[in-house]
């Protein structure tokens, strides 16, 4: 197979062809490394790419284990990437921040260990908004990532590097983390599929925390089949994570059925109102019609409290961030200021120089809402609102199997637009953050393009531990669309054949 043919495959398709000896893991790794060399000067999807000889050695060893029958899973031999806030032993994990610029963990996150056990070839660490704080991957200390569909636009965030890398065929799938939509929104902007599992399904051990009660690791891939296969590998009970759940039914690929007959799908009227671009609204209504024609019962309903989700989320997430990020003080690891006088001076200078503007903004907001006199007025009120939002979703899921809506109010904005107005960037999370507040699973699937050729994502939301419902609905919808590689990436892959 040619490099272009290899790179056009999904992760599951590649895994199958490796087992059938039509292609080797080594050839797949070489194709991906060639694509990275071609695309990285334009996109900046990665913070760290492993040494080529080590990646190729890893691929050769995995190929031997496949040939011997030791590795039989669908991801064996498939090159993958990991977001840069998920720890890997002996590989830099920076959270795209200056303060962790030289941090090399001594342990590996449980999610990555599960991928390694499944035989995935780990290529490197992807760029992100600093400490996952942002919606555009422009707050990274290592420069912004660009959108493969149009490099003048952002890829979304905070898992923008993972989504950009998958879209540009710089890996076959990637891990992201989702605190308020950080997998689903960039998946929408980059025209790929992203899945945020139910809170507790995937171990958070080794994920550098932003908002501990909201963070969840999940897959980014080319299609729903890949995401289901990856989730089967990631989902595991981990005693090292007190929020990790023991789930008995993890056969997510059994939900890959083009059948939604009788499925009840609700569209919140609040999700189709003011602020939603007409082309995005049209794409959501088209998706609803596709599912209706396949036999689903689709209707609009009122999902209350949507307007309170953003303030509740930013109060809770910022409060948890201010607590979680207090450990980065220049003492044991990470950046330390070169000139200081005394311990307090070292703390202040190390944190002032090490953190970027968006991280500082959220730490200050979090410290304020947790401070004496404001704790009851803001933080406790936000926690009560979170409980009410969960109750509203419980009521919705007593009537519906799946909730359908947009993943973002717009397609990908131009670079620099969102940074001018942080509040506008925060408001862009309106359709994703409620899922995290309620601990629900959410899936974004490509649903067409706008007039400028930028992807539009359709979001499927399920009840807790009902990933199968959204996988089934997403898969059925996906059969009417299909996956498309961005022209830039396809041309780069084709050029390698010419040479």
What pLDDT was estimated at residue 59?
Answer: 98
Task: Identify the DSSP state of 88.
Answer: B
Q: Catalytic pick from 83, 196, 466, 468?
A: 83
Q: Give the mean pLDDT of 402-428.
A: 87
Task: Specify whether the backbone of 137 is left (phi greater than 0), alpha (psi in -120 to 50) or beta.
Answer: left
Question: In whole numbers, what is the pLDDT of the chain averaged over residues?
Answer: 96
What pLDDT was estimated at residue 499?
Answer: 47
Q: Catalytic pick from 140, 182, 236, 418?
A: 182
Q: How far apart are CA 140 and CA 125, in angstroms?
A: 13
- The share of the chain scoring above pLDDT 90, in percent, equals 93
Task: Identify the DSSP state of 413.
Answer: P
pTM for the model stands at: 0.96
- The share of the chain scoring above pLDDT 70, in percent, equals 99
Instruction: Give the tens place of pLDDT for each residue, 102-154.
Output: 999 999 999 999 999 999 999 999 999 999 999 999 999 999 999 999 999 99
Q: How far apart are CA 446 and CA 474, in angstroms?
A: 10
Residue 341 token pair: 């006088």
Instruction: Give the tens place of pLDDT for each residue, 345-388.
Output: 999 999 999 999 999 999 999 999 999 889 999 999 999 999 99
The model's confidence at residue 422, banded by pLDDT at 50, 70 and 90, is: confident
Helices (H), 277-417: 278-293, 306-324, 343-354, 357-369, 381-397
Domains by residue range for the chain, with CATH: 3-303+394-498 (3.90.1300.10)
H-helix or E-strand spanning residue 194: strand 193-196
Instruction: Give the tens place of pLDDT for each residue, 55-108.
Output: 999 999 999 999 999 999 999 999 999 999 999 999 999 999 999 999 999 999
Q: Which of 381, 359, 372, 360 is nearest to 315 (CA)?
A: 381
Cβ contacts of 211 within 8 Å, gap of 6 or more: 179, 180, 316, 317, 320, 321, 324
| Ordered DSSP codes for 333-366 | SS---SS-SSHHHHHHHHHHHHS-HHHHHHHHHH
Concerning whether 83 is annotated as a catalytic residue, the answer is yes
Residue 369 token pair: 């809402």
- Sheet containing 121-126, strands listed edge to edge, beginning at the edge strand earlier in sequence: 46-49, 121-126, 79-83, 173-178, 216-221, 193-196, 442-449, 455-462, 402-406, 264-268, 297-301
Concerning whether 318 is annotated as a catalytic residue, the answer is no
What pLDDT was estimated at residue 497?
Answer: 58
How many CA atoms lie less than 13 Å away from 29 in the CB half-sphere? 26
Q: Catalytic pick from 25, 158, 159, 203?
A: 158
| Ordered DSSP codes for 39-63 | HHHHH--EEEE--HHHHHHHHHHHH
Concerning whether 182 is annotated as a catalytic residue, the answer is yes
Other C-beta atoms within 10 Å of 277: how many?
A: 15
Residue 483 token pair: 């996956």
Helices (H), 75-209: 110-117, 160-167, 184-190
What pLDDT was estimated at residue 496?
Answer: 60
Q: How far apart are CA 106 and CA 316, in angstroms?
A: 30
Query: Exposed e or buried b for every residue in 355-380, given b needs 16+ CB within 10 A?
Result: bbebbbebbebbbbbbeeeeeeebbe
DSSP helix/strand/coil, 81: strand
Which segment of 227-236, 262-271, 486-495 scores lowest on mean pLDDT? 486-495
The model's confidence at residue 333, banded by pLDDT at 50, 70 and 90, is: confident
Q: How far apart are CA 53 and CA 325, in angstroms?
A: 35
Q: How far apart are CA 120 and CA 63, in angstroms?
A: 10
Q: How far apart are CA 83 and CA 162, in angstroms?
A: 6
Cβ proximity of 103 and 94 under 8 Å: yes
The model's confidence at residue 464, banded by pLDDT at 50, 70 and 90, is: very high
Task: Identify the DSSP state of 98.
Answer: G
Which segment of 234-243, 306-315, 399-408 scores lowest on mean pLDDT? 306-315
Q: How far apart are CA 425 and CA 418, in angstroms?
A: 5
Cβ proximity of 111 and 402 under 8 Å: no
């Amino acid at each position: 197979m040619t490099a272009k043919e290899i790179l056009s495959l999904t992760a599951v398709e590649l895994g199958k062809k490796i087992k059938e000896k039509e292609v080797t893991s080594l050839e797949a790794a070489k194709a991906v490394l060639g694509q990275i060399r071609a695309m990285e000067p334009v996109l900046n999807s990665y913070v760290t790419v492993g040494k080529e000889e080590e990646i190729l050695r890893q691929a050769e060893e995995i190929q031997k284990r496949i040939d011997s029958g030791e590795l039989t899973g669908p991801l064996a031999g498939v090159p993958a990437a990991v977001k840069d806030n998920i720890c890997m032993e002996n590989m830099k994990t920076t959270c795209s921040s200056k303060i962790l610029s030289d941090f090399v963990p001594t342990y590996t996150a449980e999610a990555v260990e599960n991928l390694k056990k499944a035989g995935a070839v780990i290529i490197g660490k992807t760029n992100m908004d600093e400490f996952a704080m942002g919606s555009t991957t422009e707050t990274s200390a290592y420069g912004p990532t660009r959108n493969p569909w149009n490099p003048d636009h952002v890829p979304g965030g905070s898992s923008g590097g993972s989504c950009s890398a998958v879209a540009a065929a710089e890996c076959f799938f990637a891990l992201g983390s989702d605190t308020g939509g950080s997998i689903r929104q960039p998946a929408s902007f980059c025209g790929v599929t992203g899945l945020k599992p139910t809170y507790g399904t995937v171990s958070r051990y080794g994920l550098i925390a932003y908002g501990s009660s909201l963070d969840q690791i999940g897959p980014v891939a080319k299609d729903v089949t890949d995401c289901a296969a990856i989730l089967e590998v990631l989902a595991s009970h981990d005693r090292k994570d007190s929020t990790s759940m023991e789930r008995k039914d993890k056969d997510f690929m059994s939900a890959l059925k083009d059948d939604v007959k009788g499925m009840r799908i609700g569209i919140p009227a609040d999700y189709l109102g003011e602020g939603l671009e007409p082309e995005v609204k049209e794409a959501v209504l088209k998706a609803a019609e596709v599912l209706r024609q396949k036999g689903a019962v689709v209707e609009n309903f009122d999902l209350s409290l949507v307007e309170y989700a953003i303030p509740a989320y930013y109060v809770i997430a910022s409060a948890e961030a201010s607590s979680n990020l207090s450990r980065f003080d220049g003492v044991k690891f990470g950046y330390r200021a070169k000139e200081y006088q005394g311990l307090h001076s070292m703390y202040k200078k190390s944190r002032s120089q090490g953190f970027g503007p968006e991280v500082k903004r959220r730490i200050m907001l979090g410290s304020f809402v947790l401070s004496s006199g404001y704790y009851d007025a803001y933080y406790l009120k936000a926690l009560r609102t979170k409980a009410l939002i969960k109750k509203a979703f419980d009521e919705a899921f007593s009537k519906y199997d799946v909730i359908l809506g947009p993943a973002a109010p717009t397609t990908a904005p131009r670079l620099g637009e969102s940074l001018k107005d942080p509040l506008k960037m925060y408001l862009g999370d309106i359709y994703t953050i409620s899922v995290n507040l309620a601990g629900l699973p959410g899936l974004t699937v490509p649903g067409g393009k706008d007039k400028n050729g930028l992807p539009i994502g359709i979001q499927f939301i399920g009840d807790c531990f009902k990933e199968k419902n959204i996988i089934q609905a997403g898969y059925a919808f996906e059969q009417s669309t299909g996956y498309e590689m961005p022209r830039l990436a396809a041309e780069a892959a084709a050029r390698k054949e010419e040479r």
